[in-house]
Structure 1
Amino acid sequence: MTGTTARREIHTYKGQDRALRAGRLGTAGLLLSVLAATAPLMVVAGVMPTTYAVMGITAQPLLFVVLGVVMALFGVGYAEMSRHVHNAGAFYAYIARGLGGAAGAGASFVALAAYNALQVGVYGLFGFEAALLLDTYLSIRVDWWVIALLGIAVTGVLGALKVDLNARVLGALLLVEVTLVVILDIAFAADPGPQGLSLQALDPAALTGAGLGTALCFTVAAFLGFEQAPVYAEETHRPQTVVRRVMFLAVGSVAVFFALTSWLMGVATGPDHVVGAAREQSAGLLFGLSEPRLGGTFTDVLHILFLTGIFACMLAFHNVVARYAFAMGREGLLPAAVGRAARGTGAPAVGSMLQTAVALLVVLAFALADDGPHGDPTTPVLELFTWMGNVGALGVIALMATTSVAVIAFFVRRGAVAVQGARLACAGLAAVALTVIFGYAVADFEVLLGTDPDSALRWVLPGVIGAAALAGVVVGLVLRSARPATYARIGLGNEAFQLAREAEHTAAPPAPGSAAPPVTDQTPEPPAKPER
């Protein structure tokens, strides 16, 4: 073996297939990967009109500002934690290091359930919109679930390839989406509605009469993505720096971008008319505002790029789910086969296949239950997309709140309160704010779903997150009793294998003349004694 080949290999205690391929992503690649999950066109065409229509408020831009502040507070502690813990399990790894293995195991199952729900739900919207476009422009009638299954297949193939290739695909789609939204913003500002460039939507008094917490639940989906940056820590250049930088760039850009766009959407209709227009046109509001200003051709392109943006969102969430599954398999929370990376690509191929299988089963179940006429959005959009999206968002909010508490516990147990005091204060404020938002989400879940207050779904669907947490805690407790060595590894990721190798060599020094242990390209920072 040549020296060059040796340097390219990744050696871990358990072997090359227990590590994701390091050095694949830089700042730009990671930023594009996480921002793709925010799906700008999907937020602008879907989340914004829905929030205007359901909440009946005109101050939507302020929701993005308030939530941006909350996410920034969360990001302070989260980013600092990412400098100390590099693990594709991100949320659950941090919770395990701060609150113990059982809590970490519970969080791992919540993360797996939440991100699977987010990812699978998008297939419903993707299938419906693609079928609508085919019918409108080519007069081809295809059921939504046929296209959704095709999307599952393509996403599964891409998910098993190199992460830098995925980043290029996501980045290209994201840049086109952002460009189109910027063009729309300029058009709205240049040709405002009957009230001109009104600042009415920026008046805090315009939030009066709305449940702020519930309104924030509607817009929290717009930010989902930035928190995924640490999931890729093992695959980035200089993770201590890059992950932190990307998170703050993502939060800042999302908050400013969406606050500006939601304000200009209100300007285009007139603040006094935007709620009524959103209730009448729903997701068609954006396209209705676009056509008279930019023409039919631009609006047709917007429809097509709306679809590619949905696909980018699907792929981004698929990558995250695959890496969570990989981390859990590597640490004994899922079967060991899930915790193996493909030798050729360094991607979590088995985790990718697992997520694809879950998506296939869920989409098929909804397809079989769909008894509506062709073109009816009830099953793919109002049920699959809405139900799964809200379950996933609820789970992520819970993970963020718990992670903020875990960050505080982690540094307190390390005796670093004096050094990390300001960051811990930010984490505490974030924990309180996120807990309040979570409480509003659970209390008003029927509003998020658009169902009757007496519907069993308002408790059954949030119960999915509770059941996942309970299942994870049980698995953690069983491991603590039956396999304590595996339990002690929860949250440590590849660092656990390095510690085990060091322990072996300390206990039994190599005999004179024996081969030295392989040099690792992924050597973690000098590990502290695991907090348990």
Structure 2
Amino acid sequence: MAQPAPAAPGLRQRRLGVGSLIFFTVSASAPMTVLAGGVVTTYAVTGSIGVPLSFPILGVALALFAVGYAAMTRYVENAGAFYAYIALGLSRAWGVAGSAVAIVAYNTIQIGLYGLFGWAFSGFAAAQWKVDLDWWACALGVWAIVGILGLFNVDLSAKVLGVFLIAEIAAVLLFDLGGFGHAAGGSVSAESLRPDNLFTAGVGGVFAFGIAAFVGFESAAVYSSEVKDPRRTVARATYIAVAITSVLYAVSAWALAAAAGKQALSKGPADPFAMIADWFGTNLATAANVLFLTSVFAALLSFHMVVSRYTFAAGQEGVLPRFTAATWRRTGSPVAGSLLQSLAAVVTFGIFAIQGRDPLQQLFTWLSYVAAVGVLVLMIGTSLSVLGYFRGRDTAESPWQRIIAPALASIALIAITATIIVNADSVLGAEKGSALTYVLPGIVGAALVIGLVWGYVIKLRNPSVYSGIGEGGARQAAALAGIEDLLARADDRVSA
């Protein structure tokens, strides 16, 4: 029977439980950000009132993905997660390609969120304090805080995210209660839940925005070498994160539709904070706005942690230069990956600021789209890798876990990805066939090709490094364990 790989050396081991992992994964999906940003934008851009139904449908597809994904987490402990799964299930060259896509995808969503935060905080400062702040200055301030927290141990970050997430979900639930309690026309309509109102001309855009709302749920396995029980913790956290976000997003989208009414939604974006002010007063609306900002901050921190661990994993195995696997001895955090991510972020949003680009419509929207396509490509590769990994292995997993669910997930995710790419114009607000609709998904394609080529270069130039790709430092861990065992025996003999 296949046995779990030994944990990789470097990161601080065995600290996280299911609760901490849920905080990371759900915080990355950012419920308040999805409500006040994603759901509102989806209604306005697509003109579809069937948005609430899209979330449980996407949730089913992601749950199918999670079946095989969770089964494989029991045997693979690697901070590179998708990258390692693809390497071990398909081939090591494809694993390197996956690492390139992952680093691009998670960097782009994290950097894009700096645009959203800068835009939101500058607007909040103007409204509350009558202070005119440039968006990039606000982004720079939160960038410094995220960078500092990224250097500390994962326990501290989990506690910070936990506090923000609880308050954030409370605010979303408050909005939901207000929406259903103040329904337009005096009664809650079920029109938003009818399939014929979802599967219209705007369905592609609805699913495109919808899948972007879930980006982050799959990040649980990134912490597999840092959890207390890798055979159970990652799987449980992933299932719970999918369930929480699917239900919360569907209910919140329905509440927004109920409160605003069909006609209001078709005329333009609704303002959840203005609604809260009308229902519960300006103080609660201000508090909800603050929680929107902390929601974006929590997502920034969560994605920063994910990117730094992907960089650590690739450096540890020689896919990237070895210095990228450096950790801070005091905290066990991947210090090199954290600093590199911070550098990439400040350079990118700095370029957008210098060029006078819009932080919301361009920086956030463009990079979020790239991230959504990239993560979908990674999930497709991971579902296929589950099929490859369990083929011919003697394990306790059922055919449902090893074959059926991963195959169904692959089909569903390919269909969603194709829909998002074909409908890129509706998501990006660009003309049909414009260069932007090719360039942005092309970034993911380029990362995939470059990574695949680099994988074969490693295979030809350094076969020993190539053969260890996806192992997560397991060989180094085994060697260290052997040395420690010899030292312990020697110490016993000396004592005797």
**Aligned counterpart, 1:526:** none
After superposition, where does 1:439-478 map in structure 2 within 5 Å? 439-478=418-457
> Given the alignment, which residue of 350, 362, 369 partners 2:355?
369
1:396 is matched with which residue?
375
SS of structure 2 residue aligned to 1:209: coil
Q: Which residue of 2 aligns with 1:331?
A: 317
Distance in 2, matches of 1:442 and 1:421, equals: 30
Normalising by the residue count of structure 1, what TM-score does the alignment of the two structures yield?
0.88
CA RMSD of aligned residues (A): 2.1
Residues 1:354 and 1:511: Cα distance change in structure 2 (over 3 Å): closer
Residue number in structure 2 paired with 1:254: 245
Contact map agreement 2:102 2:374 (CA 8 A) in 1: yes
Alignment deviations for residues 290-337 of structure 1 (CA, whole Å, 9 cap, x no partner): 221111111111112111111111001000000000000001111101
Q: Deviations over 1:493-516 (max 9, x none)?
A: 1212235568x88xxx97997469
Q: 2:59 aligns with which of 64, 68, 76?
A: 68
Of residues 94, 106, 109, the one that matches 1:115 is 106
Question: Is 2:459 the counterpart of 1:480?
Answer: yes
Following superposition, the deviation at residue 106 of structure 1 comes to 0.2
CA distance in 1, matches of 2:227, 2:29: 20
Per-residue CA deviation, residues 327-380 of structure 1 (Å, 9 max, x unaligned), is 00001111101112211101111100000000011011001100xxxxxxx610
Quote how far apart the aligned CAs of 1:210 are: 2.9
1:152 corresponds in structure 2 to 143
| Contact 2:106/2:306, CA 8 A, preserved across alignment | yes
Instruction: Deviation per CA, 1:87-114: give whole Å up to 9, x if none.
Output: 0000010000001110000000000000
Question: Which of 300, 304, 327 lines up with 1:318 in the alignment?
Answer: 304
Which of structure 1's runs of 4+ aligned residues deviate more than 6 A?
509-513
User: Secondary structure of 1:24's partner?
Assistant: coil
The answer to whether the Cα contact below 8 Å between 2:390 and 2:402 also exists between their aligned partners in 1 is no
Q: Answer with 407-416 or 246-255: which moved more.
A: 407-416
Q: Quick one: which of 172, 189, 211 aligns to 1:181?
A: 172
Instruction: Write out aligned runs for 1:300-449 (5 A).
Output: 300-370=286-356, 379-414=358-393, 419-449=398-428
Q: Which residue identity lines up with residue 275 of structure 1 in the other structure?
A: L
In structure 2, do the counterparts of structure 1 residues 150 and 418 end up closer, same or farther at CA, with 3 Å as the change threshold?
A: closer
Q: 2:22 is aligned with what amino acid?
A: L
Contact 1:117 1:388 survives alignment (8 Å): yes
Q: Distance in 2 between matches of 1:267 and 1:150?
A: 37
Corresponding letter in the other structure for 1:235 = E
Pick the aligned partner of 2:157 from 142, 147, 166: 166
User: Are 1:13 and 1:500, in contact at CA under 8 Å, matched by a contact in 2?
Assistant: no
Q: 1:231 aligns with which of 199, 222, 246?
A: 222
Q: How many residues align?
A: 486
1:5 counterpart residue number: none
Q: 2:265 maps to what in 1? A: 275
- CA separation of 1:300 and 1:129: change in aligned 2, threshold 3 A: same
Give the match for residue 51 of structure 1: 42
> Cα offset for 1:419?
3.7
Instruction: Could you tell me which runs of 5 or more consecutive residues in structure 2 were left unpaired when the two chains were aligned.
Output: 1-5
Contact 1:73/1:429 (<8 A) preserved: yes
Ranges in structure 1 where 5+ consecutive residues have no aligned partner:
1-11, 371-377, 517-532
Distance 2:292 2:338 in 1: 25
Q: Structure 2 residue aligned with 1:86, among 40, 52, 77?
A: 77
Separation (CA, whole Å) in 2 of partners of 1:458 and 1:124: 20
Q: CA deviation at 1:273?
A: 2.1
Structure 1, residues 208-256: CA drift from partner, whole Å, max 9, x if none? Answer: 4235344211111221222000001111111111111100000011111
User: Residue type matched to 1:298 in 2?
Assistant: L
For 2:183 and 2:216, the matched residues in 1 are separated by 31
Residue deviations 1:147-180 (CA, integer Å, cap 9, x gap): 1111111111000101010001111111111011
Write the deviation string for residues 18-67 of structure 1: whole angstroms up to 9, x where unpaired.
Answer: 42111221111111111111111110001111111122111111100100
Describe the shift of the 1:133–1:422 C-alpha distance in structure 2 as closer, same or farther (beyond 3 A).
closer
Q: 1:200 to 1:513 in 2, by over 3 A?
A: closer
